[in-house]
Amino acid sequence: MDMTDKCVLVTGGSRGLGLATTRQLLQQGYNVFTCSRSQTPELQALMAQAGPARLSWCAAAVGQAEDEERFFAQAVQWTAGRPLWALINNAATAQDGILATLPNVDSERIIETNLTGALRLSRLALRHLLSKGTAGRLINISSIIGSRGYTGLAAYSASKAGLDGLTRALAREVGRRKITVNSVAPGYLETEMSASLQQRQRSQIINRTPLGRLGTVDDVVPVVLFLLSDQAAFITGQTLVIDGGISC
């Protein structure tokens, strides 16, 4: 294990990609503070294994400004003077439904969580990094649906397209301060979020994917780790697509 005192904040670390990222970050020697609205046995087990100085969690709903501020304040306190290296905006929500019939409140909640929450957390993290004068990394977990669209996911598509725009703008705003900002855009992954796909939709996606399968979190986590590494110091403002070629 390559030990470091670097601290990384991950939203939505209780399951799926956020949990897998958290696990690998710990293995690489990073310290992780995460949040989600509820706990899972898997995250609890990881916390027990890692200990509170290396992995901590608070209940917070991204998309609610007070929760985001509390998450960030608790995270800074938890770092106990160790450098904050990165924020990974991973928490997101999706709901299948045609825009014309989806209740407005649901569309707004999707945008509020996936885009507005990520924007507000990015502001908190960047303010912190700029005030310390330290380098850092911001990674937004986007989706190929942000650039391609998908029937029934209009608000989700809009939120991810917005996130990629946020990535490009912030990369320009903070590049001179050695802070990089990138998006990672997976295709369809085997997680709870995609569990609602009907068999017909799964087969269609697999047929259209040159590499002939859905992605897994293990396809995505190494790219996140790479973006956090020194080797990625000259990459910013990009959206890295990991989709088995479906969008090529």
Ligand X SMILES: NC(=O)c1ccc[n+]([C@@H]2O[C@H](COP(=O)([O-])OP(=O)(O)OC[C@H]3O[C@@H](n4cnc5c(N)ncnc54)[C@H](OP(=O)(O)O)[C@@H]3O)[C@@H](O)[C@H]2O)c1
Q: Which C-beta is closer to ligand X: that of 9 or that of 233?
A: 9
Ranges within 129-148 binding ligand X (CB under 6 A): 141, 143
Per-residue contact flags (x/-) with ligand X for residues 63 to 102, judged by CB under 6 A: x--------------------------xxxx---------
Residue from the set 188, 224, 240, 241 that interacts with ligand X by CB under 6 A:
188
Residue from the set 22, 56, 113, 122 that interacts with ligand X by CB under 6 A:
113
191 binds ligand X (CB under 6 A): yes
Q: Which C-beta is closer to ligand X: that of 145 or that of 179?
A: 145
Tokens representing 241? Answer: 């697509």
Decide: 19 and 189 in contact? Cβ < 8 Å.
Answer: no
Q: Which C-beta is closer to ligand X: that of 67 or that of 178?
A: 67
Residue of minimal Cβ distance to ligand X:
16
Clarify whether 30 is annotated catalytic: no
- Distance (Å, rounded) from C-alpha 9 to C-alpha 246? 30
239 binds ligand X (CB under 6 A): no
Shortest distance (Å) from residue 124 CB to ligand X? 15
Contact stretch for ligand X (CB under 6 A) within 49-57, 74-82, 185-193, 228-236: 185-193
Binding-site size for ligand X (CB under 6 A) equals 29
Contact stretch for ligand X (CB under 6 A) within 32-40, 100-108, 147-155, 226-234: 32-40
Q: Given phi > 0 = left and psi -120 to 50 = alpha, else beta, which region is 35? A: beta
Ranges within 2-21 binding ligand X (CB under 6 A): 11-18
Shortest distance (Å) from residue 7 CB to ligand X? 19
Q: What is the 3-state secondary structure (H, E, C) of the chain?
A: CCCCCCEEEEECCCCHHHHHHHHHHHHCCCEEEEEECCCCHHHHHHHHHHCCCCEEEEECCCCCHHHHHHHHHHHHHHHCCCCEEEEEECCCCCCCCCCCCCCHHHHHHHHHHHHHHHHHHHHHHHHHHHHHCCCEEEEEECCCHHHHCCCCCHHHHHHHHHHHHHHHHHHHHHHHHCEEEEEEEECCECCHHHCCCCHHHHHHHHHHCCCCCCECHHHHHHHHHHHHCHHHCCCCCCEEEECCCCCC
Contact stretch for ligand X (CB under 6 A) within 57-65, 147-155, 175-183, 221-229: 57-65
What positions carry a catalytic annotation?
A: 156
Contact footprint for ligand X (CB under 6 A) = 11-18, 35-38, 61-63, 90-93, 113, 141, 143, 186, 188-189, 191-194
